[in-house]
Amino acid sequence: MALQHLLGIAELTREEILTILEQAKRFREVLDRPIPIVPALRGKTIVNLFFEPSTRTITSFTLAASRLSAQCLNFAVSASSAKKGESLLDTVENILAMRVDGVVVRHSLAGVPHFLARRVNCFVVNAGDGCHEHPTQALLDNFTLLERFGSLEGKRVLIVGDIAHSRVARSNIICLNKLGAKVAVCAPPTLLPVGVEHLGCEVFFRLDKILYEVDVVHMLRLQVERMGAGLIPSLREYRQFYGLTRERLSKLKPEVVIIHPGPVNWGVEMDYDVKEMPQTLILNQVKNGVAVRMAVLFLLAAGRGLLTEEAGSG
Amino acid sequence: MGKILFTGGSVIDPVGGRIRRADVLIENGLVKAVGARIKAPDAKKVDCRNRFLAPGFIDLHCHLREPGEEISETIASGAWAAFASGFTQICPMPNTNPAIDSEAMVRFELEAARGVNGARLIPVGCCTKGRQGKELAELGGMSMAGARAVSDDGNWVSDANLMRRVLEYAKTFNLLVMSHCEVPELSLGLADEGFVATRLGLPASPGIAEAIAAMRDIMLAEWTGAPLHICHVSSRETVEVLRWAKARGVAVTAETCPHYFTLTSEALGREYDSNLRVNPPLRSELDRKAIVRALKDGTIDAISTDHAPHTSEEKEREFEAAAPGIIGFETAFSLCYEVLVLKKVLTLPELVARLSTAPAQILGLEPPAIEPGKEANLVLLDTEVRWEFSRERVLSRSFNTPFLGRMMRGKVVAVFLGENYYFDSEFLGEQSEVGKFPKVGFKKTGA
Ligand SMILES: [Zn+2]
Ligand SMILES: [Zn+2]
């Protein structure tokens, strides 16, 4: 049974992930053509429903839709009314009235894409829900790593930073596990959620214990606004113990890969020097993001779900 | 309604922990006789073979939403739903809008309940004015108007000195202080802190948020010598605190609710069903087992429903934005019977004691008993019937419950309190001569 929505990586099988990434590979080639557009979704309408501001993700989805020749509408809904839950159902009803084919939703509360998926008759893509999942980000991260390594089987991936509040971390841990990688996370205990090891990862509190042994370092963005909650004493101390500093760089494996979901707080989770390193794939991630989102929209909007005969055999 | 003879049933005496075969005759709202083969040719007969007669239940903790949110529930609809579920006396919490925090408000509540064919209200006032946790409410006046207890329910009184004053002052007026224990700084209140919350990305509160608050209140109760009641216990750590306090001889009692020994946070699955959002949250299997053990050994004295009706507008929302709480009257006995009696944790008389005798003792009331000369206050239990809890069986004005569609074992099939009665003709069938009683006494909205 093909999936009708993309709500999280947890809902996907390894085969479904590989189907999406296979399809993304084809679209990645399209993006390098002189005219990087295909008519695959001509006549389809996709709505970006963002209850939480995110220039990067909304741009990436918009671009993905237009590269597929789909029409794309952007709705930015104010966070305060969304928080009270005032407008969500009304908004949904309005969308239904407009006869759209799919909704890409970003919300500060976990579970909103599931809530929508139960109530709309079009497909729903989770573009990040609270501290829960951000599946397209994980797919593009894994795509980027596969592009470099060919296979993730047995590769050691370290995710560093605010695991507790990171949907990117959750989706990545699940995705990496499904693709055979070994995952470790590293954070101060105040930024680690209870029982995270049951998602499939080793847990480290000190970066220097593990950093030098891994094939991939995935640095998370530190939400500077969390500082107010007293979770870490200062940005300076965070950099000292959890930052990818100039000193730490020199001790990494030479073939290591460094990724980050962006935007980076330079000088906090990463020193600026990292930007210059050939191992840093942050810009590849951005480009691959469009291809991966094209693949997701294509597979869902073509009405065949995520496992299509054509895509599955490719 | 004249004379009624219950024939061939078993009568439960929860105080003595006994069951005996006996007929029961009630006349004009009083128990006339209890014994073998009572002759009363002029009485209407209710066939009680394979059924049990027990004293009516008392719900220590429920929400009727009036005044303020009559769209979810009213005193009349809630008192009726409680009654038809076996609760002949109920303690509505004072977190209405406006709150029940004055003598006038207690009088309003009792007035609204007058003439309602339903459970009798045992008013609970606020501890502090407007449940703001800043100033003592007029406990004396509320007690004069008929309140038996005080609670700020959802708002734990976090000022320790004010809580001390509440306990001291309440004691003067023989008011029981009921505490919804929750240290606010530790509680984001949506899910139990653990792997389920981590997987779902939900903000969480740990079980110790409840236990730490309970510990403080228990120490204040011991210090002031005032009795204290802990509401809807959900965590294993709170059970430990209670065990310690009771061994010490502190005058503390506690209740839990069917959802805390029926469900765990695993029930959340990946669906974000807001009907599973309760406060305190559903916890782990370890907690559930600890609650069950505490009910068995008496560390938790009583079972309440925390009946918390909400409209679908309040529940059909994002999980985190949905109002916490589920309706609890209609399913209470059946869930208890299934999880506690059928699984041999409690005997049927022990279960009735947790639902009737213990709540009465906690409130300082005489425990209901089926004895000659007393007011008729009894329920008829059919432990054999299997039934599906469907939307049509909801008597409350709201439908927020995760148990819709569940097959239930055992049911309250008749309830009598004084001259009032409820009679479930669907399950009692034609074997009775009591006659038709309107099954649904109040017009429901949104059905
Ligand atoms: Zn409460
Ligand atoms: Zn309550």
Q: What is the mean pLDDT of each run of 10 residues along chain B (447 residues)?
A: 90 95 96 95 92 98 97 95 97 97 98 91 98 97 98 97 98 97 90 96 96 98 98 98 98 98 95 94 98 98 98 88 95 98 98 98 97 97 96 95 97 93 80 52 40
Q: Return d(Cα A73, Cα B249) in angstroms, integer.
A: 67
Q: Return d(Cα B69, Cα A60) in angstroms, integer.
A: 45
Q: Collect all residues of chain A within an 8 Å Cβ-Cβ radius of residue B201.
A: 110, 129-133, 167, 170
- The rounded Cα A104 to chain-centroid distance in angstroms is 13
C-beta atoms of A129 and B201 within 8 A: yes
Going B432 to B422 to B278 to A118, the CA torsion angle's sign is positive
C-beta atoms of B199 and A170 within 8 A: yes
d(CA B252, nearest CA chain A) in Å: 32
Q: Return d(Cα B135, Cα B131) in angstroms, integer.
A: 9
Letter string b/e over residues B62-95, b meaning 16 or more CB atoms within 10 A of that residue's CB? bbbbbbebebbbbbbbbbbbbbbbbbbbbbbbbb
Record the tokens describing residue A197, joined without a space: 């090891």
Say how many Å lie between the first and final Cα of chain B, rounded: 31
* Cα B292 to ligand 2 centroid, rounded to whole Å: 20
DSSP characters over B382-404: EEEEEEE--GGG--SS----TTT
What is the predicted pLDDT for the residue at B433? 59
C-beta atoms of B198 and A130 within 8 A: no
Record the tokens describing residue A259, joined without a space: 């990724």
What is the predicted pLDDT for the residue at A87? 64
- Enumerate residues 6+ apart whose C-beta is below 8 A from A311: A19, A22, A23, A299
* Residue B380, strand partner residues: B53, B414
Sheet with strand A123-129: strands edge to edge: A71-76, A45-50, A102-107, A123-129
Residues of A with CB under 8 A from a CB of B: 8, 10-11, 83-85, 88-89, 107, 109-112, 114-115, 129-133, 167, 170, 193-196, 198-199
Q: Return d(Cα B91, Cα B94) in angstroms, integer.
A: 9
- Enumerate residues 6+ apart whose C-beta is below 8 A from B438: none
* Cα B306 to ligand 2 centroid, rounded to whole Å: 5
- The rounded Cα A202 to chain-centroid distance in angstroms is 21
C-beta atoms of A111 and B316 within 8 A: no
Please state, rounded to an integer, the average pLDDT across all residues of chain B: 94
Q: At what angle do helices A282-301 and A14-31 cross, to 10 degrees?
A: 110
d(CA A87, nearest CA chain B) in Å: 10
* Cα B299 to ligand 2 centroid, rounded to whole Å: 20
pLDDT in tens, B57-90: 999 999 999 999 999 999 999 999 999 999 999 9
Q: Collect all residues of chain B within an 8 Å Cβ-Cβ radius of residue A196.
A: 195, 198
Record the tokens describing residue A297, joined without a space: 């929209």
Choose the catalytic residue: B101, B217, B287, B306: B306
One-letter identity of residue B71: I
Q: Collect all residues of chain A within an 8 Å Cβ-Cβ radius of residue B272.
A: 110-111, 114-115
By CB atoms closer than 10 A (0-12, 13-18, 19+), residue A140 is buried
* Cα B153 to ligand 2 centroid, rounded to whole Å: 6
* Cα A109 to ligand 1 centroid, rounded to whole Å: 24
pTM of the model: 0.92
Q: Are A257 and A239 in contact (CB under 8 A)?
A: no
C-beta atoms of A83 and B198 within 8 A: no
C-beta atoms of A198 and B195 within 8 A: yes
Q: Collect all residues of chain A within an 8 Å Cβ-Cβ radius of residue B195.
A: 194-196, 198
What is the predicted pLDDT for the residue at A2? 66
CA atoms in the 13 A half-sphere facing the CB of B428: 25
What is the predicted pLDDT for the residue at B283? 98
CA atoms in the 13 A half-sphere facing the CB of B294: 32
What is the predicted pLDDT for the residue at B266? 96
Please name the residue of chain B whose CA is at the shortest distance from the CA of residue A166: B201
Angle at the Cα of B68 from the Cα atoms of B67 and B74, rounded to 5 degrees: 55
Helix (H, G, I), strand (E, B), or coil: what is residue A5?
coil
* Residue B306 designated active-site: yes
DSSP characters over A54-105: -HHHHHHHHHHHHHTT-EEEEEE--HHHHHTTSSHHHHHHHHHHTT-SEEEE
What is the predicted pLDDT for the residue at A94? 79
Other Cβ atoms within 10 Å of B115 Cβ, number: 8
What is the predicted pLDDT for the residue at A114? 94
By CB atoms closer than 10 A (0-12, 13-18, 19+), residue B434 is middle
Q: What φ, ψ does residue B59 adopt, rounded to 5°?
A: -95, 115
Residues of chain A predicted below pLDDT 70: 1-2, 78-87, 303-314
C-beta atoms of B321 and A199 within 8 A: no
- The rounded Cα B81 to chain-centroid distance in angstroms is 12
